[in-house]
Structure 1
Amino acid sequence: MRKILHIDMDAFFASVEQRDNPRLRGKPVVVGGRPEQRGAVAAASYEARKYGIFSATPSRVAATKCKDLIFVAPRFEVYRQVSQQIRAIFHQFTDLVEPVSLDEAYLDVTENKPEINSAMAIAREIKGLIHQETHLTASAGVSINKFLAKMASGLDKPNGLSLVAPDQAEAFVQQLPIEKFHGIGKVTAAKMHQLGIQTGAELRQWSEPSLVRQFGKVGHYYYGIARGIDERPVIANRIRKSIGAERSFFPDISGLPVLMEELDAIAAQVHLRLAENQRSGHTLTLKVKYANYQQITRSRTVDHPLYEVDEILVLGKELLQSHIDEQQAVRLLGLTLANLVDKDRSPKQLSIGFV
């Protein structure tokens, strides 16, 4: 039986800004593009979240939710430095560390360097060292697999520590509202509600073939997590092959002007993730899922690597205009960059959407 930790920094980018600038403490702060520019929220402080502002919220929407909202330009170099400090702490305990992003990682501590038997004790030590070295807080989830550890880390934020023990796994999943499941978004949750699935217990009543018929290949995953089963290993040094963002819509949307507007926010989110990872890419893929669950993907490869919001958006809109079926409603829209290369950083390249 594995011992898995999920460590998630609390409002990481925003917390770093509040740590480094005392005038921002206790105030609604977002890191990302300003509302008068094409941008999206990369991170929101807990004070901002009270207004319904979260990561990936379009900046223009965030500004309407809170009149006192403070926009801060991201400092990805600083965030990467802090992230490296945190990962160094992880590696004091295990080399099986799978970063998900700068502020989030899975750790397999089944066998660990200090030979500590208790995964909870390891999580406490990690949280303490993070706070001691960075003056930031992290939330930790402890369980027998990645799905349960991820769910546990979100139970008591910020600065939380939660355990889903082996003998608690099935009962924990059964009582969980379906929209709280990691991997089930708003649109899928809405469809599940229409099918009479409100909780993990009701999801568990469905057979695997039935879930696959309703939701495609991801139905296999839903069948497993409804039983607290997740066999995915923690993989160290995973090479990221693509960076993207997508948005689901409920109710479905239609009309090229509306879709074009949504693509603005998606392109901004892709740019934020490229900046976070210091990557650019040669191949842009548009993903469209229609209301009838038919899905299309269309790609184009260019000679120069794409990075800026505007160049991603121009190509994305060309793909959308060329291939969209305007007679159908759309429930999901996404953009992904592949054929990634390291980004040659410069102030000019980091300025669009942030200043």
Structure 2
Amino acid sequence: MVFSVRTYNNINQIGLKELGNQFQVDGDKADNPDAFIIRSQNLHGETFPENLKAIARAGAGTNNIPIDQATEQGIVVFNTPGANANAVKEAVIASLLLSARDYIAANTWVNKLTGDDIPKQVEAGKKQFAGSEIAGKILGVIGLGAIGARIANDARRLGMNVLGYDPYVSIEAAWNISSHVKRVNDLKEIFANCDYITVHVPLTDDTRHTFDKNAFASMAKGTTIINFARAELVDNKALFDAIETGVVKHYVTDFGDKDLLGKEHITVFPHVGGSTAEAELNCAIMAGKTIRRFMETGEIINSVNFPRVEQALVAPYRITLINKNVPNIVARISTAVSDLGINIDNIINRSKGDYAYTLLDLDEDDRAKIDQLVAKFEASDNIVRVRLIEK
């Protein structure tokens, strides 16, 4: 069986090779593809093809994808967490250094000098760019995932004292965080004690405007904020007030906004934090591997809207079900199988919110029975999508 994949944006071709020979990559020309692989393409307002089963975002953020719409249609949305983490980490560390010494303003100033006595002018004016060192300063890291953990560890190596906040940090991430990073349980501790604050959390209703007037009111004067996560985590009006009063010394962001451009104490980069050749390749490879694994085995890894489900495929047939998370659904599935005299080799059901995902491995060689079962599942009001996978 050959799967059709539609790509948006410029997806690294080496990464796409991870799909293998069973996949036909048609760029944006595939009319009814099995999967999308995208980067920054905005899918809000799009009508998804009927055959679409998966969307892989070659990057961590998925705000450009209508997650609820995809879930309701039984489309699994994947991202590639950690694939661009090193690139973003390096961008944040660079921003720490640039803001501490104001190198960008210094470069702009020196390039505007004229005359035959440039060295003399440089010596006379360089004091305004003396800056400070980051060693010994306190860095607050909000969000200790793949990116935040790396930043916290490297900032420690640069001599900074680091406070970390993340009430949802995974066990895997926690193992990678230096014991010298002090974990705090209240964001107020970050706001009140840090010279520099960097944020690395997804945009949700709870995190929107994490930096609001109350947050800025908790900070000491001269705080630097670095935002390579999402623009909406910062309330711009509150930010401007904090800059005006001297609470915020410098704001560095990777998200262009006309309200931020051309303002003192604000440095804006054009969303390039994760845009290195290495990161783009890593993201494409991970996206390709994820789509291939899902389409060939039904296993789900790194999905943002469905649970992680892994199970070795050893039975002749596997049926995957995306179903509404209603009572007794597993019992109903099992009954439907037994009514046809089919033996269940293995079954796993995991839920996430209002939906669940089931892998049903069947020890049955009669394809006619399997087709009957698939038709039965497809007729169920509580089952959104059914796939049949042959070993």
Give the structure-2-normalised TM-score: 0.24
Structure holding more helix per residue: 1
- Higher RCO (C-alpha 8 Å, min separation 6): 1
